[in-house]
Amino acid sequence: MSRGPIWSLALGLPLLLSPWLGGVDSQWSVLFFQLRGQRPAPADPVLLAVDADSLALDQLLTTAERRASSLWRRMGSWPWPRELQADLAVAVLERGARQVVFNIVMAGPSRYGPADDAAFQQRLAPWRQRVVLAASYGTSEQGQLQQAHLQMPLYSFPRVGLTALLLSPQGLVQAIPGRRWFEENLADFAPPHPAPLADVAAGRPTAEAPVGIDFTGPARRLPQVPAWQVLQQPPGFWRGRTVLIGATAPELGDQQETPFGPQSGAQVQAAALATVEQQRGFRAMPAPWSGLLLGGWPLLAGGLLRRGRDAGATAAIAVALAVVGVTTSGLGWALVQSLMPVTFLVATPLIGGGLRAWGQWRQESRERAYLHQILARKVSANLLRDILREPGPIWTQVGGSRARCVVLFTDLVEFTPMGADLQPSELFTLLNRYFEVIAAAVIAEDGLLDKFIGDALMAEFGVPRSRGDEVEALAAVRAALGMRASLAQLNVELVAAGRPPLRQGIGLHFGDVMAGNLGSSQRLEFTVIGLSVIVASRLEGLSRQFPDTPILISGDLLALLPNQLQVKPLGRHRLKGLPDPVDVYGLLDLI
């Protein structure tokens, strides 16, 4: 039904674009973080934070209180003396901390002079193997040139880590760089090159590819102690722990965007270090599995999309495949920290399925239009005689007039699933046979075949010319019974041919309508509108609830033929769109 080669080729379009879809995948990671929510924070590392309170101790403590502590006396506006920073590190190391990691880059001399630099090195000399200093990497624009900068610490310590982290195209902190990144960005600098700060602190080798950071939640989610309270922690608090010293005060800048909102650079580094230590980093799928997925997903999607017999079914399959892609990616992300190409998995079925569904819809529309054109020529002899006898503006001008008539609606019950199993040619043949028998019943009673809507038919008795209310009501009843009988005969033939029988519902109502032409002077359609049309349509729909009496009539119609019909009372029903309940009867036969 659709142009297979075009939509089949479209399945490969996301594969060709996959190198550029990674940026979109980062947005999926943000969504996965939000859906997963916060996780319990690990006990390690603990952040010794240069926070807003530590920078404003003169407002929190009295002068006498500050003089009582050598640390408090020296705390104030940033930057602090490096000797003070060393004393903070020594304080936790002396209390059993496993190591101290500085997230403060000390690339140039201290603003407090050479004595401060000397004091920093002297205080930490006994702990050199348990201290990690920070280096930084950045770029700047100079005219049309981009210049890279690598700032190494002033002091010669054995362990140095690079604070650089990778950002998503949207500017969110995303991953710890891998070896390939270092080879590409630090090749012009003299070795030795520092490894990522988190890898150095955790004592693990740097991965070949980037490792996504597993953020556990918003800022302050990881254990955090204000710097001014370093000595106020209970005994044993620092024992065996990694302590990361860094600035968290917003006024110091270094705020970075994460999936859980802005966090300080120190909090981000703490999350990166926890990710490496717990080995919970997000990694791309191994090459063999990734290749199998990229090659197999379009084939699987194409095979399933081909099963869509119509546009609606194809669209539903495409959406279902996209949901499967998102769900699988989310589970892989959450359970095994695997980064799958989510955008590729979603775009492949949606693009291919969308094109196939569009092609099917166009083909189905042409087929429905042609079927309608053929059946619309079948009008009753009564209507034809009326047109020939009284040709006038009623047939050529827009407008209408009030009339009273019987409106008949009939529709096949549960035909859509049956039609989906038929080839288009078989569907056409079956519908033509069905419409032939039910249209003949209307024409035989001099009714008006108003319109065919899919597998439904609307007809009127009493317009454009009425033979009297009772006569038209009796003609409509005979037409409905004739449809039932003709369908029964057709079903005998269908069953004999191995086809399932057809079921129909019929609704009849008598009342006021507006009859006339709708459209323009170039294209008109004679029809009726009004509340009576709605009642007949709702009765037809209600017939599904009464399979033993598929022909339902209203009390208004029964009132015209009180002693001529054999009916079964079905009670009063409130029909959708109608203000008052309607008396409903199941038509059994003529008396």
pLDDT (tens digit, 9 = 90+) per residue, 483-506?
999 999 999 998 998 888 999 999
Class of domain 376-590: alpha beta
What pLDDT shows up at residue 329? 92
Strand-strand pairing, 504-519 and 524-529: antiparallel
Which of residues 11 and 504 earns the better pLDDT score? Answer: 504
What pLDDT shows up at residue 533? 95
- What residues are paired with 166 via a beta bridge? 175
* Contact (Cβ atoms closer than 8 angstroms) between residue 378 and residue 26: no
Mean pLDDT value of segment 354-372: 76
Q: What six digits make up the tokens of 90?
A: 């020594």
Confidence check: pLDDT of 8 > 60: yes
Residues 6+ apart with CB under 8 A from 543: 413, 505, 506, 507, 549, 550, 551, 552
What pLDDT shows up at residue 524? 60
- How much of the chain, in percent, has pLDDT values that exceed 70? 90
Residues 6+ apart with CB under 8 A from 460: 405, 406, 407, 408, 447, 448, 450, 513, 515, 528
What pLDDT shows up at residue 364? 76
Closest listed residue to residue 88, CA positions, set 104, 76, 100: 100
d(CA 525, CA 386): 16
What pLDDT shows up at residue 397? 46
What pLDDT shows up at residue 451? 87
| Four-residue CA torsion sign, 231, 232, 235, 238 | negative
Q: Is the pTM of this model over 0.75?
A: no
pLDDT confidence band for 20 (50 / 70 / 90) = low
What pLDDT shows up at residue 416? 63
pLDDT confidence band for 43 (50 / 70 / 90) = confident
pLDDT confidence band for 23 (50 / 70 / 90) = low
Question: Average pLDDT of the chain?
Answer: 87
Confidence check: pLDDT of 370 > 70: no
pLDDT (tens digit, 9 = 90+) per residue, 98-136?
999 999 999 999 999 999 999 999 999 999 999 999 999
Mean pLDDT value of segment 156-170: 93
pLDDT (tens digit, 9 = 90+) per residue, 263-299?
999 999 999 999 999 999 999 888 888 888 888 988 9
Which of residues 428 and 185 earns the better pLDDT score? Answer: 185
Burial 4-38 (b: 16+ CB within 10 A, else e): eeebbebbeebbeebeebeebbbbbbbebbeebee
What pLDDT shows up at residue 275? 94
d(CA 447, CA 335): 67
Confidence check: pLDDT of 384 > 90: no
What pLDDT shows up at residue 6? 79
d(CA 99, CA 86): 13
pLDDT (tens digit, 9 = 90+) per residue, 239-264?
999 999 999 999 888 899 999 999 99
- What residues are paired with 516 via a beta bridge? 400, 527
Which of residues 80 and 139 earns the better pLDDT score? Answer: 80
Q: How far is CA 89 from the centre of its chain?
A: 49
Confidence check: pLDDT of 227 > 50: yes
pLDDT (tens digit, 9 = 90+) per residue, 451-467?
888 889 999 999 878 89
Q: List the Cα angle 356/360/361 in 5-degree steps.
A: 115
What pLDDT shows up at residue 399? 60
Enter the DSSP assignment of 467.
Answer: S
What pLDDT shows up at residue 137? 94
Residues 6+ apart with CB under 8 A from 507: 408, 409, 410, 535, 536, 537, 538, 539, 540, 541, 542, 543, 552, 553
pLDDT (tens digit, 9 = 90+) per residue, 509-566?
999 999 887 765 555 677 889 999 999 999 999 999 999 999 999 999 999 998 899 9
What pLDDT shows up at residue 18? 63
Q: How far is CA 202 from the centre of its chain?
A: 38
pLDDT confidence band for 389 (50 / 70 / 90) = low
Burial of 406 (0-12, 13-18, 19+ CB in 10 A): buried
Amino acid at 291: G
Closest listed residue to residue 488, CA positions, set 408, 551, 569, 544: 551
Residues 6+ apart with CB under 8 A from 168: 23, 26, 27, 29, 174
d(CA 136, CA 126): 25
Mean pLDDT value of segment 8-15: 77
pLDDT (tens digit, 9 = 90+) per residue, 411-464?
998 876 666 667 777 888 888 889 888 989 998 998 988 888 888 999 999 987
* Contact (Cβ atoms closer than 8 angstroms) between residue 550 and residue 505: yes
Strand-strand pairing, 173-176 and 166-167: antiparallel
Closest listed residue to residue 135, CA positions, set 117, 154, 151, 158: 151
Mean pLDDT value of segment 394-398: 47
Confidence check: pLDDT of 215 > 50: yes
Cα distances (Å, whole numbers) of residue 41 to 44, 214, 223, 275: 9, 11, 7, 11
Compute the residue count for the chain.
591
What pLDDT shows up at residue 2? 43
What pLDDT shows up at residue 392? 45
* Exposure of 554 in the CB half-sphere (CA atoms within 13 A): 27
Closest listed residue to residue 164, CA positions, set 195, 192, 201, 137: 137
Residue 351's H or E segment, with its range, is: helix 342-375
Determine how many CB atoms are found less than 10 A away from the CB of residue 92.
Answer: 25
Peptide bond into 126 cis (omega under 30): no
d(CA 529, CA 532): 8
d(CA 73, CA 69): 6
d(CA 148, CA 185): 8
